Amino acid sequence: MIRNRTAIVGIGHTEYVRTIGRTEDQTAYEVSRAALADAGIAPREVDGIFYVEGQSGGANDLGRRLGVDHLSAWSGTEGGGGAACGPVVQAATAVASGLCEVAIAYRARNRGAVGGRPWAKTTSAIGGWNAFQAPHGLVNPVQTIAFTANRYLHEFNAPEECFARVSVAQRGYASKNPAAYFREPITVEDVMNSRMISDPLHLLECCPENDGACAVVVTSAARARDCAQPPALIRGVAQGAPSQHVPMTNMYREDPWTWPGDIAARNLYRMADISPSDVDVVQMYDMFSPVVLYGLESYGFCGRGEAGQFVCDGNIDSVDASLPTNTAGGSLSEAYIHGFNLILEGVRQIRGTSSNQVADAEISLVAAASIVPTSAIVLGK
């Protein structure tokens, strides 16, 4: 049993900037030290390290830098944005099972500094399922998300501005967050008039490319009581993916609106022994604004095809709304650390230290991208 046996006791992050001037393995070390200091735990006590694949360094490198006595558990989680919560899922599992006692989970990402994207040099020979998409114009994520977003607008007759409303709501939160990459408030008109990137997605409905790193410390619930900060109890963890799933499009499933998030949500709520109505605040993966709508539906906050109207009705816009969502600004405005920064905000809400604090928040849900093989956690007091 994992429920309520572990907790996040420390958090740390770098500055969020276009070009940070340090390597990913260096910033991973910095945020790990910061998270451990926040928890009041000495670096040498770390015996578990978990991370998202696709960054420089790794468990052995970070352990050496931290000066840990020994490592008892480590792993990398694959899946890009769907892996955002994966390191915490693995850390909680390892601590609860006794594999390790103090675990670091982290993500370091230098995308702004590197410049360009992996698909910028797509070759003429493409293998796997992508061979059935790339030749027809679905080469990169924004094109793929746009393809699905157009279908969503058409199939559910969703309001045209529903995606823009997500961007506006999250920028409103970010305007009060001193760490946010973008802080200037925007309007629906600003979003709709910004440059079209891939119809129907405009520039302000897409996340930035930036550098930065985040880390959390996971330990047992028993030890958490003696740490420096109020613990965020890990009430549930989950991963999930349906059969015959093609990331981001789902085009080969009979029901294209059954996402990996549906599977993760079912598992998560069962473990945490809660329902969507119990959740006080949500951090929902958002590299593009439509993904928030799909996640809200996957995790049961509104019915299939209803999220567009749900956000247009103001249900996510403020700490007083029925479902405050991405209260630090999310990937669209705070920073794009492949969703890991959402975990830190989930913890702050439980601690009561968010710059957009939800009153009496007791249950905080953090979900990675619902549209790819995914992961999620529920935090509580």
pLDDT in tens, 4-45: 999 999 999 999 999 999 999 999 999 999 999 999 999 999
pTM: 0.95
CATH value at residue 82:
3.40.47.10
pLDDT in tens, 216-260: 999 999 999 999 999 999 999 999 987 777 776 777 777 888 899
Marked catalytic residue, from 16, 285, 294, 299: 285
In a domain, 146, yes or no: no
Could you tell me the residue range of the domain that residue 267 belongs to? Answer: 6-114+208-380
Number of domains in the chain: 1
Q: Is 136 helix (H, G, I), strand (E, B) or coil?
A: helix
Nearest to 217 by CA among 28, 64, 39: 39
Marked catalytic residue, from 173, 269, 299, 336: 336
pLDDT in tens, 307-362: 999 999 999 999 999 999 999 999 999 999 999 999 999 999 999 999 999 999 99
In a domain, 154, yes or no: no
Which stretch, 72-76, 123-127, 129-133, has highest mean pLDDT?
72-76
In a domain, 143, yes or no: no
In a domain, 126, yes or no: no
Q: How far apart are CA 321 and CA 313, in angstroms?
A: 10
Does 299 participate in catalysis according to the annotation? no
Nearest to 41 by CA among 99, 112, 117, 102: 102
In a domain, 91, yes or no: yes
Q: How far apart are CA 354 and CA 344, in angstroms?
A: 10
Residue bearing tokens 């997605």: 201
In a domain, 180, yes or no: no
Does 336 participate in catalysis according to the annotation? yes
